[in-house]
Structure 1
Amino acid sequence: MQPRKIVLLGSTGSIGTQAIDVVDGAPHLFDVVALSAGGGQPELLARQAVHTGASVVGMASGDAARLNQLIQEAAAVAGRSGYHPEIIVGPDAAAKVAEVPSDVVLNGITGSIGLAPTLAALKSGAILALANKESLIVGGSLVTSAAAPGQIVPVDSEHSAIAQCLRSGSAGEVEKLILTASGGPFRGRSRAELTDVTPSEALAHPTWDMGLMVTTNSATLVNKGLEVIEAHLLFDIPLDRIDVVVHPQSVVHSMVQFVDGSIIAQASPPDMRLPIALGMGWPDRVPKAAKACDWTQAAAWTFEPLDTVAFPAVGLAKDAAKQGSTFPAVFNAANEEAVLAFHHGRIRFTEIVDTIDAVLSEHTGSSGLTVESVLDAEKWARMRAQERLALSSL
């Protein structure tokens, strides 16, 4: 059997680097034929290109000649001086790379800029292993209507867990989806106690190693709100049948409750290589993709209800999803602006979600959902958020 041809988007990020680890561990199963990155780490991208032997290399920003030079330098060090991939540089590089013929496109880009590559991947006919939740959330029906049945395979650990649990019963037997949340670094704190937390404290996640935006979103639980919307779109389950429970050990990645009262959970030590491997290999599992739980050691798993007063983001996300249209896009864009303002010392931690709420309250939606209406809504939300943030700066 030939290895699956993999296109890797966001290769220098957390998802991308771990995906290459998975490929290295199973070269008989996977072959990276193309990769792309934002451009912030061109040296790493060059080394990855040489390491994987990708035939196409894309970069969203930067200089093509410089990237080519870095690739040739890395190739010389690796003894692969004959390696000359096609290089694509520009804001649409990821979307063009997504069109490279492949079996699987793994979208590991962070943020709504992943929408165009997601749509390009679906149009190509490849399986879309989706770690870029924002593209589905802001794109909504644009993405779901473009996908063939089973074409999107979730890579988020929670949604990968749900996909695995759903194998235990038919669609008509599902009562509810239960997403687990670690609770982030501020679990157990009241809203008042969150007022003066610092950016460095917000980035001190107890379980996962992620970038600035995703880690901060986990601290505010905005990330969990986005995941609720994602679960709603991926699995076609009504929002009122999707719950969130706090599980600080992050071993149970999510659960499905069936109509007879049975709950099926997927558990494994926190390691994104497992859902990444499953996303690329779906529906087959990749042997030794990650370590299993060690049952020779004592362990305790705890579960707590979500404090919706201290962390109102999940409820706010559900409200945005219920309104539909471009409201989820506004939720996401306003959040991204507020997170950056927080890390620049301009607002307090609690004002991140307050800003999302305020901007959503002013939004009127769009008469139709198109790529243009999504982009227009995001532009408006960013502008409106920036205006509000300028008024509320510390």
Structure 2
Amino acid sequence: MKKRIAILGSTGSIGRQALDVIYEHVDKFQVVALTTNRNVELLAQQVEAFHPSYVGIVDSESVQEFKNYGLTGVEVLSGKECLKNIATLPEVDLVLVAVVGISGLEPTIAALEAGKDVALANKESLVAGGHLVVEAARKSESKIIPVDSEHSAIFQCLAGCDDPNKIKRIYLTASGGPFRNYSKDQLRHVTVEEALNHPNWRMGKKVTIDSATLMNKGLEVIEAHWLFGLSIEQIQVVIHPQSVIHSMVEYIDGSIIAHMGKTDMRLPILYALSWPQRLESSVGSLELAAMEPLTFEMPDFDRFPCLGLAYKALEIGGTMPVVLNAADEVAVEKFLRGEISFMEIPVMIEQAMKSHKAVQNPDLNTILRVDHGIRRQLM
């Protein structure tokens, strides 16, 4: 029987690659639903190729444009609620949450509460509302399968570990981004084009800038805390420029299990969609004898303060990670528009955190209220 998939954010980078994976394995997967914010031209192409029963268009004003394509056999849902509606469809087995931003939080919780397994590519769901997401999964006994390459690696390295007390620590690897060897003075003058030129990965603009500031790794630290139930002391970031080892788990006996693979997001996407099975991939294998030496170094918190801010937000807890995430999104957008410099990104985030008194154990409404307030404050 085919696994029935809904993709929230099918026109984004992860969504498009997920459909590439599904196309290679049409005998294993059935696309039930796709959503977009407003990229209805690409959505229409995807509908023609995969014939879903439902589509969701968050931007209601774009619905008529989609209908003008004259596609039949597909039900159109619209508005912000369409993400939750599609995430809870009875005919869906697995929901891939690949939307960007805090808009992924509510549909992620809704999918888990409805008993769906979730392939999670939305960092904000765990950063802003990790306790709510984990609790929803616990109650419904649904599974969260991480899509991020680092968390997918940890997820796979933990296979067969039935006791969390056996884990000493995990290592989240980071390439270091395009500015790994830049001085602080050089970092003050980097351009948007330079920051978008990641040496190893091809990702969306927001994630690429976050990788350059190391905020992406900071957000992953918070994600790892919730995904794997680890303390802040058990989560270590290590710079690994070759991006061959995607992360590692160290056990209490000193053994380290590492996950290696090509730098291609289709691999963790395929694993998340096919879990607990493994399927063949066209990505190919590493040529071990041809690889350059693998090196590791500690991150520089002084040159890349975003990483330290993320650890601080996790340490404080409550709504502070919400502030971190919202402030980062606004700051990155301002940088992309040329309104602030690269090194002003962490300054904006730190100022927002200092101005906020964290609310512990926030409910969903509090999270959304704080998120909206920080964005309005910084815009």
Report how far residue 142 of structure 1 moved.
1.1
1:98 and 2:91 correspond: no
Amino acid at match of 1:134: E
1:304 and 2:297 correspond: yes
Report how far residue 210 of structure 1 moved.
1.2
Equivalent position SS for 1:245:
strand
Aligned partner of 1:161 in structure 2 is 153
Asked if 1 retains the 8 angstrom alpha-carbon contact of 2:169 and 2:251, the reply is yes
Equivalent position SS for 1:141:
helix
1:35 and 2:24 correspond: no
Supply the RMSD in Å over aligned alpha carbons: 1.4
Q: Distance in 1 between matches of 2:224 and 2:282?
A: 24
1:262 and 2:255 correspond: yes
Q: Distance in 1 between matches of 2:216 and 2:33?
A: 29
Report how far residue 92 of structure 1 moved.
2.1
Asked if 2 retains the 8 angstrom alpha-carbon contact of 1:157 and 1:253, the reply is yes
Report how far residue 64 of structure 1 moved.
2.1
Report how far residue 123 of structure 1 moved.
1.8
- What is the aligned counterpart of 1:197 among 190, 207, 211? 190
1:66 and 2:59 correspond: no
Amino acid at match of 1:44: L
Asked if 2 retains the 8 angstrom alpha-carbon contact of 1:37 and 1:94, the reply is no
Equivalent position SS for 2:202:
coil
The 4+ residue runs of structure 1 with deviation greater than 4 A are none
Aligned partner of 1:380 in structure 2 is 373
Asked if 1 retains the 8 angstrom alpha-carbon contact of 2:244 and 2:261, the reply is yes
After superposition, what is the alpha-carbon deviation per residue over 1:121-176, rounded to whole angstroms, capped at 9, x for unaligned?
Answer: 11221110000011111012111111134611101000000011112544221100
Q: Distance in 2 between matches of 1:242 and 1:63?
A: 43
Report how far residue 69 of structure 1 moved.
2.0
Amino acid at match of 1:6: I
Q: Distance in 1 between matches of 2:274 and 2:68?
A: 34
Asked if 1 retains the 8 angstrom alpha-carbon contact of 2:56 and 2:78, the reply is yes
Asked if 2 retains the 8 angstrom alpha-carbon contact of 1:139 and 1:371, the reply is yes
Q: Distance in 1 between matches of 2:288 and 2:350?
A: 44
CA 1:278/1:204 → structure 2, altered by over 3 Å: closer, same or farther? same
Q: Distance in 2 between matches of 1:298 and 1:280?
A: 29
Report how far residue 212 of structure 1 moved.
1.4
Amino acid at match of 1:163: F
Matches within 5 A, 1:1-394: 2-39=1-38, 41-61=39-59, 62-70=61-69, 72=71, 83-101=72-90, 102-148=92-138, 149=141, 151-167=143-159, 169=161, 170-288=163-281, 290-366=283-359, 368-386=361-379
Q: Distance in 2 between matches of 1:150 and 1:306?
A: 35
Equivalent position SS for 1:15:
helix
Asked if 2 retains the 8 angstrom alpha-carbon contact of 1:50 and 1:71, the reply is no
Q: Distance in 1 between matches of 2:360 and 2:340?
A: 33
Gaps of 5+ in 2: none
Amino acid at match of 1:123: E
Report how far residue 208 of structure 1 moved.
1.2
219-228 vs 295-304, which moves further: 295-304
Q: Distance in 2 between matches of 1:249 and 1:368?
A: 39
Q: Distance in 2 between matches of 1:125 and 1:71?
A: 34
Equivalent position SS for 1:305:
coil
Q: Distance in 2 between matches of 1:70 and 1:187?
A: 46
Amino acid at match of 1:268: G
Asked if 2 retains the 8 angstrom alpha-carbon contact of 1:49 and 1:71, the reply is no
Equivalent position SS for 1:257:
strand
CA 1:143/1:190 → structure 2, altered by over 3 Å: closer, same or farther? same
CA 1:71/1:253 → structure 2, altered by over 3 Å: closer, same or farther? farther
Report how far residue 239 of structure 1 moved.
0.7
Equivalent position SS for 2:158:
helix
Q: Distance in 2 between matches of 1:237 and 1:57?
A: 37
Amino acid at match of 2:83: A
Aligned residues: 374
After superposition, what is the alpha-carbon deviation per residue over 1:238-275, rounded to whole angstroms, capped at 9, x for unaligned?
Answer: 01110001111111100001111111000001011111
Q: Distance in 2 between matches of 1:193 and 1:381?
A: 30
TM-score by length of 1: 0.92
